Each structure stands twice: as structure tokens, then as C-alpha cells.
Amino acid sequence: MDLFKIDNLNFTYPGNDGHTLNAIDFSVKQGDFVVLFGASGSGKTTLLKMLKPELTPHGEKSGTVLYKGEALETLDRRITAREIGYVMQNPETQIVTAKVWHELAFGLENLGENPSVIRRKVGEIANYFGIHTWFRQKTAELSGGQKQLLNLASVLVMEPDVLILDEPTSQLDPIAATNFIHTLEKVNRDFGLTVIMAEHRLEDVMALADQVILLEQGTVLLTGSPEGIGEQLKQLDEHHPMIHALPTAAKVFYGLNFRGDSPLTVREGKQFLTENYNPSVQPEKKEKTKAEPGNVVIELKDVWFRYERDLPDVVRGANLTVHEGEVVGVLGGNGSGKTTLLNLMAGQLRAYRGQVLINGKKIQKYSGKELYRGNIAVLPQDPQALFLKDTVREDYNEIAKAVGFSKEQLEKRMDVIADQLDIHHLLEQNPFDLSGGEQQKAALGKVLLLEPKILLLDEPTKGMDAFSKETLANVISRLRRQGLAIVIVTHDIEFAAVVSDRIGLYFDGELLAMEPPIEFFSKNHYYTTAASRMARHLFPQAITWQDIVRACEVKESIAYEKALD
């Protein structure tokens, strides 16, 4: 039975010339796990909201959305509120109460359930998800992973028939994201709950899908099985950018010019490599070439920080040195204090012990104007915090006034940045109407207008598709060659592996194991890339899918050897 049937769905936002959604057709069967992916701005979030009447945006709509055979807009709101669950991208956005127990009960209270029924259902869901151990905590004190798990439980306690999720792991660290995905797998498998999920990070989720849908410019480009979607893409366009959005095992498979259904998981990828490539011949070790380090521009010396006198220290004796022309990646779990560390480097927080030096000068000796004009620029975790105006261009004009650009200088600089980030089409749009990935790129463009020498980036790939990440990696590489020092706090392990000169793990208030990416990831067993887990038995120094492809290309294939015999 079709739970959802979408037929020729079109949608246009007010004031927009073109369709955001164009002739969308697909169906979802009861119990299916459906994964929706596509470039930033392809219409994924809009499409998901069209399936939840309480969230459907205002605009011009045509076509039909049927839920259990009935037009969605004709259904009683009590039915859609209970039966169609929705989990948003940002864990903070959905939480509305101060305590965990109240958040779990909130939806049932609004449906008018009897208190004894609410108590039983809340107790059941709390035990099922392991929330009983932090049941009476304040929601503000939870980690990002706990908040997103709470959002999921708060929806599932109402016993919905379908669960819709909009990039729910985008703000979670790798361990929390994996645990969250496993929880989705569990409820889909154990209860037959239908799951419809938009996601950029396909590494763990793709293999769970019954159906995969690729959106491009507001239309369904392809739909198929997770194993076969890559082959469809290759047939459509040998170099389609969304091929790089596929899981690592699939990217290696197609990167080595194999055709057909691809492996998806680390286990399948490992088996594919073992069967096709001779483990007895190891390629030569290849160290990343790096220029001599430039001057030290950031130095943290035994830095300690806590938010209040009676609260625990968030930063505990942290030490770090960053040189000009160097990219430093900082990894770590949600709530570990990575953003706090970044804010200490930016002068937005002040250590109570130790020193933060910028270009050899204590950070407190700088005036605000001196520190931020042509010196340090910060891209915050929430890009919306940087936007004040009705269009991206107006926001850029505002920052140009502060810097003192002439109109001609601004236009020239804006053109360069818009070219680098591929955001010309965003300049006339309202920044708050953009997708998460588009907001990230527009916010980075505003930051780069400041022409900083030090760039501090907090989760810069959040909400970005694979192609946008490659664009950002190229921009970072270009800025690095220009001599900028860049510090990146990120959950995106694969991105950090590509762009960083050194990577450290932030844990228990200090930076551990600050090493080059190959050393860092090849030594780690759990906090490492999918490529490293998949290929380390053959290529111990391979940490990206490109590394695996290059290593395989210099070895003789077992299949080729057999053909010669």
C-alpha cells in the first residue's frame, strides 16, 4: 500500500520566477526507508515540508499529495499531527520546553491525552531510547546528540505512521551521527515505521534505504535502489557531481571504473578490495608535501576557561601553535568545547589562566577594530547570525562600509568571491530563504570580504552537498597558498582529512594528537575516515577514497593477473 503518493507536484515561493519543485512524482510504501539527496538548494527541505501540513510553506502549489489515499490538505490536523512525525536539521530548533521529561510529554499533552496515558508512554519511550538516565535534566544542558535523540523520541512517543527527517545528523559528531542512524534503522526494522529522510552524509544511511531519490533543481532526476543509483548516475553523466556524494565504497568502486551495482558499506568495500587487489604488493609511502612553516600567528599557552566560577573548566591547559599558510583541523564530540576554544582564539571569550597570542601579541592588547579588520574573521556555527539585511548583496554592502571599501572595490571583490564560491545566483536573495548549505556559502563570502589573515571556521560544511564541499576545499587551498592561517572546527572527518595540514582531537579540555592527517587517521581505530577503515589492511596510509583509487591504480589487479596465466 502507498502511504504517500505524490503526483505532478509543483511549488513556487512568493516572488520567485521559477519553480522550487517541478513535476515531482514518486510514491512511498508502508514500512519503506526512503533516502532523499541532492545539491544544496535542490528543493529537499521544501519537498519534505509539503508532506507535513503544519509546516507546508506559503506559495503557489499544484498537483496532488495523497496520504493513505486521501488528499493531505483535507485531513484533520489532529491526524497529521499524530501520524506524520517530523525531525528538523537543527536540534535546538525543535525543543520547546526546559526539561527532558516535559519535552517527551509535550506533544501528547497538546493532543489532550489522559495524564496516566502520557506517563506510561513517556516512561516506555524513555526506557527504549535510554533517556531514563537523563530524564530530569535541563534540555539546555544536553549534548547535540542527546538533543536530537530527544527530538526523535518526542516525535515517536506519539506513535506516528511515518517519520520525516531533514538532515538530522548535520550538526552531530561522527559517533553521535552513527548512533542516531542506527536508532532509525532499529525503529524502521522493529516497528515497520516508514522513514523518509533527506541527507547529505550518505556513508551510514544509504545502505539502509529501500528507495533512493535524487533531486536536481527541484525535480526528481533519478530514483532507484541504493546499490544501483551510482550506475544510473554514471549512465546519465560520467562526471555527474553527485557521484561524489555516494558512500566511500561506491566512490572507490566507480573511481576504479567498475560498473553495475556498487558496494555501500565499509564491510562490502573491504571485501571488494580484497577480492580484486593483491595485498602482497604495497605502494610506496607518499607523504603530503608541505612548504616550510611561516610565522606563528596564533599561539595558545596553557589556556584555561570556564563559563562561571562554580562550573567545570571547558578548556583545561590547552596548547596550540598555528602558522601562516597552515590549515589546522579540530575534531571532537558534541559539547566537548571545540567552539569555546575557537572563540578564545577569536577574542570573543577570555581565558582566566594562560595566554592567547595573535601575531606574538596578547589578544587582550588589541582593540576590537584592530583585531577584526584585516586580521581575524570568524564563520560561526549558525550562519544566520551574520545576516541582517533583506538580501545577501545588501549584507555584503554593509560589511564593505565597515571595512572602508569604495563601491568599485566592493564590486570587484564581490565578483571574485562569488566566482570562488559559485554564489552569484544567491546575491539578490533573502539569506533567510536559502537552504542550510547556501547560507553557509553566503556567510563565508561575507567573512572573506573582510580580507582576513586568520580565518576561524566553525562547522563550515554543515548542510553542504558533496560538490559544495569540493568547492570549499578548493577555496581553502587557495587561501592557504595566499598565506592565510585557517583553523577549522568540524564534525566532517572526511573533509578534515582532505584540507588539513594538521589535525587534533579535542577531548577533556585539551588538544590531543596534533598530527598530519595520514598519521592521525591511520593511528585511530574508531575516530577515523571510512576510507581508512575500509582499506587499511591493504593500504595503511590511505585516508580518503582518492587515496584508495590511486593506490589501486599502481597495483596489478588479481583479475588481470589471472587473465595472463
**pLDDT per residue over 434-461, tens digit each?**
877 888 889 999 999 888 999 999 999 9
Mean pLDDT of 218-235: 96
Mean pLDDT of 88-94: 85
CA–CA gap between residue 553 and residue 559 (Å, rounded)? 13
pLDDT of residue 176: 84
With cut-offs at 50, 70 and 90, classify the pLDDT of residue 171: confident
Task: Tell me if 333 is assigned to some domain.
Answer: yes
pLDDT tens-digit readout, 92-108:
888 999 999 999 999 99
Indicate the number of domains in the chain.
3
pLDDT of residue 373: 79
Measured CA to CA in angstroms, residue 301 lies from 233, 315, 390, 552, 565 at distances of 50, 12, 42, 43, 62
Q: Is the pLDDT of residue 281 over 70?
A: no
Q: Is the pLDDT of residue 118 over 50?
A: yes
Asked if 555 contacts 273 with a C-beta cutoff of 8 angstroms, the reply is: no
Q: Do 75 and 192 lie in a common domain?
A: yes
Task: Tell me if 311 is assigned to some domain.
Answer: no
Q: Do 260 and 393 lie in a common domain?
A: no
With cut-offs at 50, 70 and 90, classify the pLDDT of residue 558: very low
Phi and psi at 37, nearest 5°, equal: -140, 165
pLDDT of residue 559: 45
With cut-offs at 50, 70 and 90, classify the pLDDT of residue 540: very high
Q: How many CA atoms lie within 13 A of 228 on its CB side?
A: 6
Q: Is the pLDDT of residue 487 over 50?
A: yes
Q: Do 421 and 345 lie in a common domain?
A: yes
Q: Is the pLDDT of residue 289 over 80?
A: no
Kindly write down the DSSP assignment for every residue of 271-300, as one continuous string.
HHHHHHB-TTSPPPP-PPP-PPP--EEEEE
Mean pLDDT of 67-81: 93
- What is the chain's mean pLDDT, rounded? 90
pLDDT of residue 317: 94
Q: Do 469 and 448 lie in a common domain?
A: yes
Q: Do 328 and 407 lie in a common domain?
A: yes
pLDDT of residue 170: 84
pLDDT of residue 224: 95
Task: Tell me if 32 is assigned to some domain.
Answer: yes
Measured CA to CA in angstroms, residue 68 lies from 31, 71, 115, 162, 522 at distances of 13, 8, 30, 11, 50
Q: Do 417 and 397 lie in a common domain?
A: yes
pLDDT of residue 60: 94
Task: Tell me if 304 is assigned to some domain.
Answer: no
Q: Do 549 and 461 lie in a common domain?
A: no
pLDDT tens-digit readout, 305-353:
999 988 899 999 999 999 999 999 999 988 889 999 999 999 999 999 9
Buried/exposed 525-558: b ≥16 CB within 10 Å, e otherwise: eebbbbbbbbbbebbebbbbbebbbebbeebeee
pLDDT of residue 100: 95
Q: Is 398 exposed, middle or buried (0-12, 13-18, 19+ CB in 10 A)?
A: middle
- The residue whose grid cell reads 576545499 is 473
pLDDT of residue 227: 96
Amino acid identity of residue 541, one-letter, is: Q
Residues 6+ apart with CB under 8 A from 494: 248, 529, 530, 531, 544
Mean pLDDT of 534-539: 93
Asked if 202 contacts 246 with a C-beta cutoff of 8 angstroms, the reply is: yes
The residue segments making up the domain with residue 274 are 239-288+531-565
pLDDT of residue 562: 46
Q: Do 150 and 170 lie in a common domain?
A: yes
Measured CA to CA in angstroms, residue 309 lies from 314, 345, 354, 401 at distances of 12, 21, 16, 39
Q: Do 45 and 157 lie in a common domain?
A: yes
H helical segments located in 314-389 = 338-345, 368-372
Mean pLDDT of 359-385: 87
CATH number for position 30? 3.40.50.300
Q: Is the pLDDT of residue 288 over 60?
A: no
Indicate the residue among 226, 250, 265 that finishes a domain.
226
Q: Do 250 and 209 lie in a common domain?
A: no
Task: Tell me if 302 is assigned to some domain.
Answer: no
Task: Tell me if 231 is assigned to some domain.
Answer: no
Q: Is the pLDDT of residue 283 over 60?
A: no
CB atoms < 10 A from the CB of 141, how many?
A: 11
Mean pLDDT of 241-256: 94
pLDDT of residue 555: 58
pTM: 0.88
pLDDT of residue 290: 56
Indicate the residue among 173, 196, 226 that finishes a domain.
226
pLDDT of residue 292: 65
Q: Do 348 and 451 lie in a common domain?
A: yes
pLDDT of residue 371: 87
Q: Do 500 and 538 lie in a common domain?
A: no
Task: Tell me if 357 is assigned to some domain.
Answer: no
Q: Looking at 169-173, 258-262, 525-529, which range is the least confident one?
A: 169-173
Q: Is the pLDDT of residue 476 over 50?
A: yes
Task: Tell me if 341 is assigned to some domain.
Answer: yes
